[in-house]
Amino acid sequence: MRYRKYPFIAGFLVIPVVLYVVFVIWPYLQTFGYSLTDWSGQSQEMHFVGLENYTKLFGDHVFLQALQHNVLLLVFLPVITILLALFFAFMLNVGGRGGTTGVRGVRGSAFYKVVFFFPQVLSVAILVVLFQAVYRSDGSGLLNGILIKLHLQDPSAPVEWLNSPNLVMWCLLGVQIWAGVGFYLVLFSAAMQSVPKDIYEAALLDGAGRLQTFFKVTLPLLWDSVQTAWVYLAIAAMDFFVLASVLTPGSSFGGGPDYHGEVMATYLMRNFLTFGKSGYACAMGVVILFLTLILSAIALRVSRRDRIEY
């Protein structure tokens, strides 16, 4: 009877595995194959060029500049998003403790959770329209309007938020953080609520303050959730196609001004659909894939800790 279960399990696994190979693994292999050719994308005619696309890639200053932007996002996006989400989750779940009420969130925490999660229900299209109004380069823009009202900016010379080489990537980073904090707040809140209240009450009785409770109790117990969030945010930082392509100036897929808003994904799509360099674009896709896998593995390895049981 024991040996009959294996064919039964295999029968259920065959179809999902076949579908995964056909729709996931095979396109990856095709992309790698096309990256070794000079395929234009317009016809099936192509010639094998070996690693020529890859050698060109690492001599391409636009691609290297886009890679630097992705690295910048990779450094700041996970750190800022996770810190803000952890702080808000802590305050909304255990930050209002005190007196005889025991462990509780700050007053109005249920309302704040809805407010912080609200950006998650907005589509990318709505986000784009919203932040195009926020970053308008005249006095009617939200940020410029606030600065002008506070007399911090000359009305005749408003800030060109998305047209400034020094500001455009930070503006995109701000949009992504604003849109993503709510999701990770809910993730950390769910993990925090699974922690027995007795642990927090014991820390309260021992005289631990909010800072000590956060670093000595909350963070170690939520480390698995933090690790998961770090990997997801690292993957998001290596992509970043949608916001960069629609918010930054440029004739096709954004990237401006002067490639200061370029990320690897936008440069890939421009080569694939606009320049007709599909083989070259496939080489970029392969590089992005391996960079993402390597960085995810490094993030998991560096953040590995012994799991705390409670």
**Closest to 107 measured CA to CA, from 119, 97, 117:** 97
CA separation for the pair 305, 94 (Å, rounded): 24
Q: What is the pTM of this model?
A: 0.86
pLDDT of residue 99: 52
Share of the chain above pLDDT 90, in %: 42
- Domains in the chain: ranges and CATH: 52-302 (1.10.3720.10)
Question: Per-10-residue mean pLDDT for the chain, 310 residues long?
Answer: 68 87 92 92 86 92 94 93 91 67 71 85 88 89 90 86 92 93 90 80 74 79 87 89 89 85 93 91 93 84 64
Q: Minimal CA–CA distance to 201: which of 100, 110, 285?
A: 100
pLDDT tens-digit series, residues 206-265: 777 777 777 787 888 888 888 889 989 988 998 889 899 999 988 788 888 889 999 999
Q: How many CB atoms lie within 10 A of CB 188?
A: 24
State how far the Cα of 125 lies from the Cα of 173, in Å rounded to an integer.
17
**Quick one: how far is CA 147 from the chain centroid?**
29
Q: What is the DSSP string of 108-157?
A: THHHHHHHHHGGGGS-HHHHHHHHHHHT-SSTTSHHHHHHHHTT-S-TTS
Query: For residue 92, what pLDDT is reported?
Result: 85
Report the pLDDT value the prediction gives residue 308, as an integer from 0 to 100: 58
Instruction: Tell me what pLDDT residue 284 has.
Output: 95
User: In degrees, to the nearest 5, what angle opens at C-alpha 233 toward C-alphas 170 and 235?
Assistant: 105
